[in-house]
Structure formats: structure tokens, C-alpha cells
Structure 1
Amino acid sequence: MADDEQDWRAVILELLGQRAEGATICPSDAARAAGGERWRDRMDDVREAAHGLVADGEVEITQHGEVVDPSSARGPIRIRRRR
């Protein structure tokens, strides 16, 4: 189980590495992969880790296929490697 932001970042990047170039993941994919039975409780941790990866230039956050600022994104998001 992922315990801190670095763990969640690694989970996100690992899942994206298993996908085709340009493919996205839902934060719930990462939460389910490493969050155990209480994966729903880990969604904020995953989103926070994704925000850190955006700041590092590793990934992009999208909504409806468009890149969005993670600090203003509300509702469902997707994560993809930066193009």
C-alpha cells in the first residue's frame, strides 16, 4: 500500500508506463492499485501526488480531453504523461 506522496507518484507513473503513449488514467486507477480495501479514502492523496507531478512537468491533468490547471479543476479528472 502506498503511504506517502512519493509512493503515490510512483504508482501513477507506473500505471501510465503500462499504457500506450497519450493514454490517460483515472486517479481511482492508482487508488485501487495501491490503496487496499479503503481505496476511496486515498483519492485525495492520489490527486495531491498528481498535482506534484504536474508541478514537476511529468504529467498533465485533463478534463474532457483538455489540459486544465489542477488547482482549479473540479470534478472528474484524468492523468496523462506530459506531451
Structure 2
Amino acid sequence: MEMVTLDEEQTKIVHNQLAVLLEKRQYPKTICPSEVARAFTQQELDALGARTWRDTMHNIRQLIWEMRNDGAVEVLQKGEILSDETMTLEDVHGPIRVRAKQIDEQR
């Protein structure tokens, strides 16, 4: 499947599914981007213009990377946080994991 840029409604579908899964995992637990893709209903896949969950993986990884750049999530590879600000998604090869960024609570 060729790469397609998501419109606002499609982005909302991916973001909502990602938010649901991240909320279910307590820090420091992570999720795999494929968990997001596999959680889509057939109706959501249709709205995303995808035949299978695999067709959504690039867009999921892209949204995760944007959220990382915005400081909302941490992206990990081999247990290490990918924190290099100059790194792009194209620099990342292989599986990644993602978790919500921990908010430091002041007491």
C-alpha cells in the first residue's frame, strides 16, 4: 500500500486508539505500535482507507513520532529512550515501543 497522508478525521481515529491503549498501561509499561493497528475495528480501517491493520503502521509510527516531538510520549528501542532531538523517524530502523511521558508530580 502506498503511503497516504491522513486527514484530520483519520488522524483523530489513530490518536484516539493510541490514547486508549497508552492510558491502560501504567508507567513505565510500553505498547507496540502494532497493538494500536490491531485494535482498529473494520469500520475504522475502512475510514483510514486500509485493507488490513498492517496498512496503517506507517501512519501510526508517524503520529507517534510527532507526539514524541511534542513531548507527549517517549519512544524506546531496545529499552532505551530515543531522546536525540535531531533524530528523525527515518533514522529509526526496527521495532519501537511507546509510552506516555511521566508527569512529575509536585508534592
**Which of 68, 76, 83 pairs up with 2:95?**
76
1:20 maps to 2:26: yes
Over 4 Å off, 4+ runs: none
Higher strand share: 1
Across the aligned residues of Structure 1 and Structure 2, the Cα RMSD in angstroms comes to 1.8
**Counterpart Cα distance in 1 of 2:18 and 2:24:** 10
Instruction: Percent identity, please.
Output: 35
- Give the structure-1-normalised TM-score: 0.84
Number of residues of Structure 1 aligned to a counterpart in Structure 2: 81
> Closer, same or farther in 2 for the Cα pair 1:35/1:43, shift >3 Å?
farther
Where does the alignment leave 5 or more consecutive residues of structure 1 unmatched?
none
Could you give the per-residue CA deviations for residues 14-62 of structure 1, whole angstroms, max 9, x where no partner exists?
1010112211000000000116460011111110110121122110110
CA displacement at 1:78 relative to structure 2: 0.3
1:40 maps to 2:54: yes
1:7 maps to 2:13: yes
Q: Which amino acid aligns with 2:55?
A: D
Rg larger for: 2
Aligned to 2:48: none
- Give the structure-2-normalised TM-score: 0.67
